[in-house]
Structure 1
Amino acid sequence: MSTPMMHDVHRDAAAHDMSMRVVNRVALITLNRPAALNALSHEMVRALAALIERCRDDRSIVAVVLRGAGDKGFCAGGDVRALHRMAKAGGRDWLTFFVDEYRLDYAIHTFPKPVVALMDGITMGGGMGLAQGAALRVSTERSKIAMPETRIGFVPDVGATHFLAKLPVELSLYVGLTGATLSGADALVAKLADLSVPSSWLDTFETRLERTDWSGDALRALRTVFAPPCNVVPHAALDSQMPWIVRHFDKRSGVERIAATLRQDLTRDELSREHRQWLQTTLDALTSHSPTMLEVTREALLRGRQMTLAESFRMELGIVTRAIEEGDFREGVRAHLVDKDRRPGWAPASLVEVQRERVLHFLTSPWKRDAHPLADLGEQAD
C-alpha cells in the first residue's frame, strides 16, 4: 500500500539489507535479510545505527517500529559464521563488530521516543539485543525467543546481563544457562514481551497506524495500534515449569550442583511425562554446552543484577573478548555451525573441571577502565 504519508527516507540503507520508510510520523525500519533469518552483519549494524540516529534527530518522527522481513523471524542474532571467520583470520575486526552492536543496542535502550519491536518468529541473540531495548515488545504465536549462546561456547550478551536481571533470578539463570526457547506466550509471562498477539493482526498494523492521532501520549497510542481489542493469549508452558525452575536454579547453586539436582529428580517414579521431559532436556543442555561458559554466564548474570546498563555492556564485551581469544567460542562454532559434527571439544570438558580462578579470569576486563572501548557509554545516566 502506498499513500502520501508513506515515503522512502533512506534509500542508501537498502544496500545493507535494511530499509526505512515513514507512515504517519512513525519510522518503519525493516531488517531485510530473510534468507539468513535477518541475522545481523556488521554493515546492517552500522546502517541501523545511522537510521536510529536520524530518527532521534528528526522532530517529525514520533516513534520507531523495528521488524524483520519474511514470516520466519525478526532477527536470528549476529552473523556468527562471519565472526568466526574474522576470529580465525587474526586481527580484531570482530571486536569492532561487537563495539558497534553494543552501542546500537544501548542507543535503542536509551532512545527518547517510543520504539516498538515486532518479535514475530525467531528472535534470538542479537535480535533480543535489539528487541529488549524497545518500549513495546510484541510477540506472536510464531515467536521463538532465546539466548542460546552457551551452546556455542559464548555468553548471553547484547545487554542480556541487564535485561535478564529484570526476571526472577531463577528464571534468568534458566534462560541464560540453558538457552531454552520460549514461545510468545512464555515471553509475556517472563516479561520479555509486553504484548502477545496473533501474527495476522500485525499484517494490518500500518492501516491502523495511518489513523493514529499523536496529540496525546505516543506510547499509549502505539498500544492501541498493536493490541487487539479482544486478545486471547495461548497457554504458556512456562506457567507449569516455573515451580521446577525455582526448585533447581537456585542462585546459590553452581551449575554442577544444578545439574546434580536435575539428575536426582529424574530418578523419581511419580513424574509426569511433561516434567520428566523438561528435566531431561534441561540436563542435556547443562551437560552439552561449554562448561566454562556456563559457569561464566551464571556469574555474569548474578553480577548484572547490581549493574547499570552501561556497566553490563562493558562486562559483556570483556567476556566476549576472552571467549573468542582464549575460550571455547571458535570450537563451539566449528562444531555446531561450520563442520556441524555436533561434537565440540570443550576445554575443559566437564563442569567438575572448571576452576573458579578461570571463571574469574573471564570476568576480569582485558582493558584498564579508561582504555575500555565502551568507556564513554553511559556518561549520562542509564
Structure 2
Amino acid sequence: MKSEAAADEPVLFHTEGRTGVITLNRPRALNALTHPMVLRIEEALRAWEQDPAVGQVLIRGAGERGLCAGGDIRAIHDDAKAGTSASAAFWRDEYRLNALIAHYPKPYVALMDGIVMGGGVGVSAHGSVRVVTERSRVAMPETGIGFVPDIGGTHLLGRAPGLLGTHLALTGTAVGAADAILCGLADHFVPADRLPELTAALADAPAHEVLPEYSAAPDPGVLAARRDWIDRCYAADTVEEIVERLLAEGDPAAGETAGTILAKSPTALKVTHAAVRRARGLGTLERVLAQEYRISCNVLRSPDLVEGIRAQVVDKDRTPRWSPPALRDVTGEDVARFLAPLGPGRELELPEPPAQR
C-alpha cells in the first residue's frame, strides 16, 4: 500500500516498519466515517492481508479528541428525510468492514483514545488488540437519536458480563477505560502520553511483545460496583419494568439511570432491548450484523430517527418529540416490524467465518 500524505485526505494509509497504519483524518468532525472512508479502509486491509511485508495493522484517529465519533449522522438525517437509500448502501459496506476486522488474520491494533462511539466502536472493538487510555469515552449512544446500536454493537454488548451490555445499549452511557475492559470492549490500558512511544515500538515488533511494556492498570470504573442492581433491574422482560425496578432500587445512581432511559426514543429502546436479547442467541457476528442491517434499514423510515438527529445534531435544542412519546405506546407489533425481513435481494448476506473467534 503506497503512502498517502495529503493532509486533506479523510483517511490516510502508510507503513511503519512491518505495521500498516490507518489514520482517520477528519479531526474537525471527530473523525466521523463516510462511505468512501469505509471503502478505502477495506481496500487497504485486503491489500495488507496479502502483503508479507505487513505483519500487523494499527488504526488511530487524527487530533486529540478521539478515534471516531461514529458515522456521518447528518448524511443519514438528510437521507432519511429525503426518503432515499444511500444510508443502506453505506451500512452494507460498513458492516462488511466490521466482519472483516473481527476475523482479520493479522493483529489489528486499535488505539481507542478519546471519543469512540457508534461506527468508531465498529472499526476498533472488533479488533484483536484494543487499547484504551484515561481519555477514552466508549459508547453506543444510538437510542438518543432514535436509532438502534449497530456495527455489531448488539453482538459486543450481548456478550458483556451479566446485563451490563443491556444497560449500555439502552442508556447510551459512555464508559471509561476500566469499564470498557470489564465489558469486553477493550483489552489494554495505556496512558495517553505513551501512545507515541507505543506506536513507534510497533514498527519494530509485534503487538504482543510490545504491549506489556506500556500497559498499566486503569483507574477503577463504576460498573463493577453497580453490577448487582444492574443485573437485577435489567433482568426484567420489558423496558417499562426495567425502569420500574430502577426507580424502586432506592439507589441514586439507579434512579438517575431510569431518567436517562426515559429521555431516549421509546421505539428505539424497545427495538434495542429485543435486538440485544436476540443477538445473544444468534451466535456469530455475521448473523447479528444481518439482523442489525435489517433493523437499520427499517429504522431509516422511522420518524424518530429524523427527529432525534434534528434535536441532537442539527438544531441542537435537545428536546426531541418522539412518536409515539411513551414506552407504553410502543407495541410488540411495532417492534416486530423493525425486525421483519427486508425481502429478496435486500438482506445483508455475509459468509460465516471458518472458525468463530
Give the TM-score range, shorter chain. Answer: over 0.9
Q: Which amino acid aligns with 2:218?
A: V
Residues 285-334 of structure 1 show CA distances to partners (whole Å, capped at 9, x for unaligned) of 21110111111101110110111211111110111111111342111111
CA distance in 1 between counterparts of 2:214 and 2:21 reads 23
Q: How far does residue 87 in structure 1 lie from its aligned partner after superposition? A: 2.1
Is the aligned partner of 1:372 residue 2:336? no
CA distance in 1 between counterparts of 2:161 and 2:217 reads 25
Is the aligned partner of 1:351 residue 2:336? no
CA distance in 2 between counterparts of 1:140 and 1:340 reads 29
Q: Could you say if the C-alpha distance between residues 262 and 66 of structure 1 is closer, same or farther in structure 2, counting changes exceeding 3 Å? A: same
Match of 2:234 in 1: 249
In the alignment, which of 258, 266, 269 is matched to residue 294 of structure 1? 269
CA distance in 2 between counterparts of 1:156 and 1:175 reads 10
Q: Which amino acid aligns with 2:84?
A: G
Aligned to 2:281, what secondary structure does the other structure show?
A: coil
Match of 1:74 in 2: 67
Match of 1:328 in 2: 304
TM-score (norm 1): 0.88
Is the aligned partner of 1:236 residue 2:210? no
TM-score (norm 2): 0.94
Match of 2:278 in 1: 303
* Structure 2 contact 249–255 (Cα < 8 Å) conserved: no
322-331 or 33-42, which deviates more: 322-331
CA distance in 2 between counterparts of 1:26 and 1:203 reads 14
1:99-248 maps to which residues of 2 (within 5 A)? 99-212=92-205, 221-228=206-213, 231-248=216-233
1:51-90 maps to which residues of 2 (within 5 A)? 51-90=44-83
Identity of aligned residues (%): 39
Match of 1:262 in 2: 246
Gaps of 5+ in 1: 1-7, 213-220, 267-274
Q: How far does residue 168 in structure 1 lie from its aligned partner after superposition? A: 2.4
CA distance in 1 between counterparts of 2:346 and 2:5 reads 32
Residues 48-104 of structure 1 show CA distances to partners (whole Å, capped at 9, x for unaligned) of 111111111212111100111111101100010111112223321111111111111
Aligned to 2:175, what secondary structure does the other structure show?
A: coil
Q: How many residues align?
A: 355
* Structure 2 contact 341–347 (Cα < 8 Å) conserved: no
Residues 204-246 of structure 1 show CA distances to partners (whole Å, capped at 9, x for unaligned) of 123322442xxxxxxxx41332333672321111221212211
CA distance in 1 between counterparts of 2:200 and 2:289 reads 37
Q: Could you say if the C-alpha distance between residues 201 and 94 of structure 1 is closer, same or farther in structure 2, counting changes exceeding 3 Å? A: same
> Bigger radius of gyration, 1 or 2?
1
Match of 1:18 in 2: 11
Q: Which amino acid aligns with 1:42?
A: H
Q: Could you say if the C-alpha distance between residues 241 and 102 of structure 1 is closer, same or farther in structure 2, counting changes exceeding 3 Å? A: same
Q: How far does residue 113 in structure 1 lie from its aligned partner after superposition? A: 0.8
